[in-house]
Structure 1
């Protein structure tokens, strides 16, 4: 573990301190009348869409006619929102109303209550966005922020032999508290989250589910950020998670953790209980137009909280960052270099380390020209140690490095934007964008034929005629994908014209594109696509739209075309 016994005491003292402050502040809430807003507001909308489809040279790949009707209604009573929505089509039907997933958050001044289905975040190590059904309170008096939650985090799910893919689950209830002080130079906070499964909520008698047991978890964290000087600032967060895998275990807790022994009065630890630690911190220094920083994070193997869905545990990350603004802000530079490793306790069959680096450069010599360039490289090294290599080895030198695996991933992006004309009545622009991604694999010192190269590039020229509300766009697109010795690519131009009529109430557009794919014989094809669309707005509440798409595909194995027409109407109130 990262921290020893004294850190446990620190957490307990912090918990008492911040909880007391929370109680004092909560007593100052002054609830008056609801407010001066309208007591009731109603808004919503309804839409109808019809889709006509026809295939030529192939069997229809969708229904020749389909329709979709949808609508929503939102009632707001004294700031409490109750939405209702529905959707109906000849393919599927759905209906949702607020009594299935009700979430209301009445607010008055600095006090907000949360009722229904919701999610809250205290810390990445305690409660971090897990959805639950229940209630919460959020207070922000002055420089303080206080949050409290209580509710059901998992619904009981009985085993069902007809649906074996659904895993049974115990009902899980949880509660938590966060207190945080946000000063000008100092920010400090404490949070804790406790969850426990109801062992009587489901009945598991089948041995197939012997590994599903009721659990209990207590996760706590302390965070601190402080500006030592005007230019030097650091922040640190330390978290602890006490996790009991089976609350029904009869054996007592045999660990030597003093923190658990102190909390034994309100946390029932047993032989299935384990304690995990996590810490992250950063130090940043600003001098002139330069910023340099150091970040560190370590999460113990097995770290988990019932208040979060997923954790990247068994991980240690160290990174150095630098940023600068040069030449009166015309050049912006960002650099990040770091290392990452797992198998922190050395008991896994494989260990992976990663070296990463990234650089970003922005250059804007004038208001008309802007250039951006970003590059990143990630080198991953994995050492696999299968036990049978040692058992079957004839000499101590057998299998050395044969399972060492190295992968290098590189990404680069360049974007150039240039304003050809600043004439407000006839603006002209050109944009060039290139993306590159590549990976190289090596095993046992030998390069593998599993690398990947992907390049995507496009150039766009656009021109507008403001008085006539017309826009013209010409583009050329190209992408190539090389993997395992196979080369595939697609390239082609596209043209689009958009124009508005009747004081912009009627908007129309026409676009066409041609793409040619090359590579292995079976994947070569030519695709010609034409699209036309128009939408008309009447009295700001009624909107009619008509869209048509025609696509013709010419491939060695088959030639066919498809036509799709969509007509829709929308009404909002």
Structure 2
């Protein structure tokens, strides 16, 4: 019976190997390389100077395998320059296997949470693992390299070598997760000679953070980031007497006694930071609530800069109507500082803004934005008098309109915008001398002709700044840019841009006038589909109280494959 069925089987209908279909390559390689160098010449009535900037080499290389590995390699290299202790030369690689394993090596910018490790450049190694519901991240390396000051270079800033590590462990996925984060970093006192330390003190930092997201459904999302930081600015400072320790220091001292993990002395600051948001989104309406509180002096060695001593709450609604052609966005926030009552006054801010955008089916767009920022003060640990109390409002009203159309193979666009800004002092003692108003108008026209490779842009700007009734400043002038593809094949393009701005300012019994003329010429040559060469030069002439002339030039080579 089996042989009978095989005999009647139509073999013509069986799938056959497609010999014409190309086999995917085992390894693919893509990348780009950019090499640039520039110079600048400054001429004034007193002197002239020529300055060469270092050459910069940047590039990226990505290897992808058929098995699922993607290996991106990135780097930047520059010629030596003085005045900076931390080098710009860096290279890093982050091999990734599918979506669950990532390795890091070299100079990398990892981010665990906004208050712990947030994009700080570290020279080291790391791993991120997302296997099922397990989320693990580990990194260790050099946060800052050692810099020894020299007598011949007074601008060279001394720094200890700073080493550290970070760990993140949690459960969940990209939609819903909860992570616990630890960051520890410290300066190496022996990384620079003891006779060159000066006033520099070795520091150390321990940060414990929590980061999570809960997305209950497509409409509701909750996010939270919290951290506590113990930052010791001087490792060798005197120990803190137990009588001076508050509740936070007492808890940390307990940990120090048990595990010797967080050493505390008189230079240690224990601070916390928290931010949380709740978002609700539907097809036509959205609402987001945001809360943030960062105590004064909060610091993490894994972040570059954080605004501290701030607490604010923001409500931001969004409405979309008529198939998203009409959109309204609003924001209302309350903010204040002096969270720990360490300042003589507390500053309160009320921040509100609203925008309305409309896009028609005929390529007409309208935008209108209104914002108001109010600032007031109230007493802190000292009473405030009306003569020094700060109370201001900053109002801004702006609008723009644009229209685009096509015809005869050309794309045309006309745009116009206007902005009014006013700063008003509400305190009667300083109101007359603290009011300022600014007007700014602009109109532009652009045209693109794809067949001839011609791009034309023409604009005019008018800005008026006034402070009280006696001081004003007016700037106005046109800008023209023309880009044209030259020769057949469009391998060569030429860009010419000219800008003329005339300014005037009343001074005493006369009006001071001046102007700025800036011209730029750029020649771009596509040597091959892979190689490109660009040469650019500019001339900037400034006539006024202190006239000068600056000329700049640059050469850039790019390879993309």
Which category of TM-score, normalised to the shorter sequence, fits these structures? 0.7 to 0.9
Please show how residues 334-413 of structure 1 align to structure 2 within 5 Å. Answer: 334-383=329-378, 400-413=385-398
Q: Report matched runs for 1:393-472 at 5 Å.
A: 400-419=385-404, 421-423=405-407, 425-443=409-427, 446-472=430-456
Tell me how far 1:300 sits from its aligned partner.
Answer: 2.2
Aligned to 2:19: none
Q: Hey, what does 2:214 align to over in structure 1? A: 226
Displacement of 1:352 in angstroms is 1.0
The partner residue of 2:473 within 472, 481, 488 is 488
CA contact (8 A) 2:36 2:57 kept: no
- CA distances 1:103-143 after superposition (whole Å, capped 9, x unpaired): 23333333222222333221122222222222211223345
Per-residue CA deviations over 1:379-407 (Å, capped at 9, x if unaligned) read 122347796xx8xxxxxxxx732210112
Q: Which residue of 1 aligns with 2:275?
A: 280
Q: Are residues 475 and 119 of structure 1, via their aligned partners in 2, closer, same or farther at CA, if it must alter by over 3 Å?
A: closer
Aligned to 1:320: 315
Distance 1:488 1:563, change over 3 A: closer
Report the CA distance between 1:237 and its aligned residue.
2.7
Q: Is the 8 A contact 1:198 1:214 kept in 2?
A: yes
Question: Using the alignment, how far apart are the partners of 1:75 and 1:305 within structure 2?
Answer: 30
Q: Matched residues in 2 for 1:48 and 1:160: separation?
A: 28
Q: Are 1:227 and 1:234, in contact at CA under 8 Å, matched by a contact in 2?
A: yes
**Among residues 128, 131, 150, which one is paired with 1:138 in the alignment?**
128
Q: Which residue of 1 aligns with 2:483?
A: 498
* Unaligned ranges ≥5, structure 1: 1-34, 391-398
Secondary structure (helix, strand or coil) at the match of 1:447 reads: coil
CA contact (8 A) 2:341 2:380 kept: no
Deviation at 1:75, TM superposition (A): 9.1
Residue 460 of structure 1 contacts residue 473 of structure 1 at CA under 8 Å; is this kept in 2? yes
Aligned length: 515
Closer/same/farther in 2, CA of residues 448 and 285 from structure 1, 3 Å limit: same
- Write the distance in 1 (CA, Å) between the matches of 2:422 and 2:229: 39
Q: Contact 1:87/1:93 (CA < 8 Å) preserved in 2?
A: no
Report the counterpart of residue 259 of structure 2 in structure 1. Answer: 265
Aligned residue for 2:144? 154
Structure 1 residues 532 and 142: CA distance shift in structure 2, 3 A: same
Give deviations 1:500-538, integer Å, cap 9, x for gaps.
Answer: 232322323455554332322463135566655544433
Please show how residues 245-256 of structure 1 align to structure 2 within 5 Å. 245-248=233-236, 249-250=238-239, 254-256=245-247
Gaps of 5+ in 2: 1-24, 64-70
1:524 corresponds to which residue?
513
- Which deviates more, 227-236 or 346-355? 227-236
Residue 460 of structure 1: how far off its partner (Å): 1.1
Structure 2 equivalent of residue 37 of structure 1: 27
CA distance in 2 between partners of 1:266 and 1:557 (Å) = 61
Q: Check 1:527–1:320 CA distance in 2 against 1; reply closer, same or farther (3 A cut).
A: closer
